A and B are shown apart, each in its own frame.
Chain A
Amino acid sequence: MSKKLTYQIVVLFLLAILLSILINNLSINLSRSGLQLSFSWLLRPASFALAENPLPYSPSDTYAWALFMGWLNSLKVILSSLILATFIGVFIGIVRTVGNSVLGFLAAIYITLIRQTPLLLQLMFWYFVAFLGLKDSIFMPIKGMISISNKGIEFLGLSLSSEFSALLFGLSVFTGAYIAEVVRGGILSVSRGQWEAFRSLGFSEINGLFKIIIPQALPAIIPGLTSQYLNLAKNSTLAIAVGYSDIYAINDTVINQTGRTIESFIILLSSFFLLNLLISNLMEVINKITLNSKKI
Chain B
Amino acid sequence: MRRLISGMIGLSMLLGGCATTSQENISRLDLIKKRNELICGVSGKIPGFSFMGSDGSYQGLDVDICKAFAAAFLGDASKVQYRPLTAAERFTAIKTGEIDLLSRNTTFTLSRDSSAGNGLSFAPVVFHDGQGLMVKRESQITNIKGLANKSICVGSGTTTEQNINDAFESQSLPYQPIKYQDLNQVVAGYLQGRCSAMTSDRSQLAAARSGFKNPEDHIILDDVLSKEPLAPASDGRDFLLADAMRWVIFSLISAEEQGITKANILEKVKFATDNPQLKPLRRFLGIEGDLGEKIGLGNDFVVKVISSTGNYGEIYNRHLGSNSEVPIPRGLNNLYTNGGVHIAPPFN
Chain A residues with a Cβ under 8 A of chain B = 7, 10-11, 14, 17-18, 21-22, 24-25, 28-29, 32-35, 47-51, 59, 128, 132-133, 135-136, 150-151, 162-163, 240-241, 243, 245, 249, 252-253, 255-259, 261
- 8 A Cβ contacts from B118-174 to A: 118-119, 151, 153, 156-159, 161-162, 164-166, 168-169
The contact sample of 14 A-B pairs, CB cut-off 8 A, is A18-B8, A25-B16, A35-B95, A47-B165, A48-B162, A48-B165, A49-B169, A132-B194, A135-B192, A151-B194, A243-B178, A253-B157, A259-B111, A259-B112
Contacts of A50 in B (CB 8 A): 177
* Residue of A11, A22, A132, A256 touching B189 (CB-CB under 8 A): A132
**Contact in complex: A25, B175 (CB < 8 Å):** no
In the complex, what residue of chain B is closest to A129 when comparing beta carbons? B192
**Contact in complex: A21, B194 (CB < 8 Å):** no
Contacts of B16 in A (CB 8 A): 21, 25
Given A35-B95, A259-B91, the answer on whether A17 and B12 have CB atoms closer than 8 Å is yes
Is the CB of B77 closer than 8 A to any CB of chain A?
no
Q: How many Å from the CB of B96 to the closest CB on chain A?
A: 8
Is the CB of B15 closer than 8 A to any CB of chain A?
yes
- Interface-forming stretch among B27-35, B179-187, B266-274, B301-309? B179-187
Bound-state Cα–Cα, A2 to B273, Å: 89
**Contact in complex: A132, B192 (CB < 8 Å):** yes
What count of chain B residues pass the 8 Å CB interface test? Answer: 52
**Contact in complex: B157, A150 (CB < 8 Å):** no
**Contact in complex: A243, B189 (CB < 8 Å):** yes
In the complex, what residue of chain A is closest to B174 when comparing beta carbons? A49
In the complex, what residue of chain A is closest to B92 when comparing beta carbons? A261
* Residue of A10, A32, A35, A252 touching B156 (CB-CB under 8 A): A252
* Residue of A35, A51, A252, A258 touching B181 (CB-CB under 8 A): A252
Q: How many Å from the CB of B102 to the closest CB on chain A?
A: 14
The 9 closest A-B pairs by CB, nearest first: A132-B192, A259-B118, A256-B157, A28-B19, A25-B19, A34-B119, A252-B157, A243-B180, A259-B117
With most chain A CB atoms within 10 A of its CB, the pick from B1, B179, B188 is B179
**Contact in complex: B161, A48 (CB < 8 Å):** yes
* Residue of B9, B162, B185, B194 touching A47 (CB-CB under 8 A): B162
Bound-state Cα–Cα, A128 to B115, Å: 40
Contacts of A33 in B (CB 8 A): 95-96
In the complex, what residue of chain A is closest to B4 when comparing beta carbons? A11
Bound-state Cα–Cα, A170 to B161, Å: 27
Bound-state Cα–Cα, A138 to B347, Å: 64
Per-residue CB contact flags for chain B residues 1-27 toward chain A (1 = under 8 Å, else 0) read 100110011011001101100001000
**Contact in complex: B88, A252 (CB < 8 Å):** yes
Contacts of A47 in B (CB 8 A): 162, 165-166
Is the CB of B176 closer than 8 A to any CB of chain A?
yes
Q: How many Å from the CB of B146 to the closest CB on chain A?
A: 18
Contacts of A150 in B (CB 8 A): 192-194
**Contact in complex: A163, B157 (CB < 8 Å):** no
Given A47-B162, A49-B165, A59-B165, the answer on whether A132 and B177 have CB atoms closer than 8 Å is no
Given A49-B165, A49-B177, A241-B181, the answer on whether A10 and B12 have CB atoms closer than 8 Å is no
Contacts of B118 in A (CB 8 A): 259
**Contact in complex: A34, B112 (CB < 8 Å):** no
Q: How many Å from the CB of A246 to the closest CB on chain B?
A: 11
Given A7-B1, A162-B194, the answer on whether A249 and B88 have CB atoms closer than 8 Å is no
* Residue of B165, B179, B192, B193 touching A245 (CB-CB under 8 A): B179
**Contact in complex: B111, A21 (CB < 8 Å):** no
Contacts of A249 in B (CB 8 A): 156, 179, 181
Is the CB of B291 closer than 8 A to any CB of chain A?
no
- 8 A Cβ contacts from B41-76 to A: none
Per-residue CB contact flags for chain B residues 216-258 toward chain A (1 = under 8 Å, else 0) read 0000000000000000000011000000000000000000000
Bound-state Cα–Cα, A11 to B179, Å: 51
Using A51-B178, A257-B111 as known contacts, list a sample of 4 further A-B pairs with CB atoms less than 8 Å apart, ordered by residue number in A. Answer: A11-B5, A240-B180, A258-B111, A259-B111
Bound-state Cα–Cα, A232 to B92, Å: 28
Bound-state Cα–Cα, A13 to B179, Å: 50
**Contact in complex: B176, A240 (CB < 8 Å):** no
Bound-state Cα–Cα, A249 to B178, Å: 11
Q: How many Å from the CB of A17 to the closest CB on chain B?
A: 6
* Residue of A14, A34, A162, A257 touching B237 (CB-CB under 8 A): A34
Is the CB of B87 closer than 8 A to any CB of chain A?
yes
In the complex, what residue of chain A is closest to B91 when comparing beta carbons? A259
In the complex, what residue of chain A is closest to B112 when comparing beta carbons? A259
**Contact in complex: B88, A255 (CB < 8 Å):** yes
Given A25-B18, A135-B193, A259-B91, the answer on whether A253 and B8 have CB atoms closer than 8 Å is no
**Contact in complex: B115, A32 (CB < 8 Å):** no
Q: How many Å from the CB of A94 to the closest CB on chain B?
A: 37
Given A132-B194, A253-B161, the answer on whether A240 and B181 have CB atoms closer than 8 Å is yes
**Contact in complex: A18, B11 (CB < 8 Å):** yes
Per-residue CB contact flags for chain B residues 277-305 toward chain A (1 = under 8 Å, else 0) read 00000000000000000000000000000
Contacts of A256 in B (CB 8 A): 87-88, 156-159, 161
**Contact in complex: A34, B192 (CB < 8 Å):** no
**Contact in complex: B157, A255 (CB < 8 Å):** yes
Contacts of B165 in A (CB 8 A): 47-49, 59
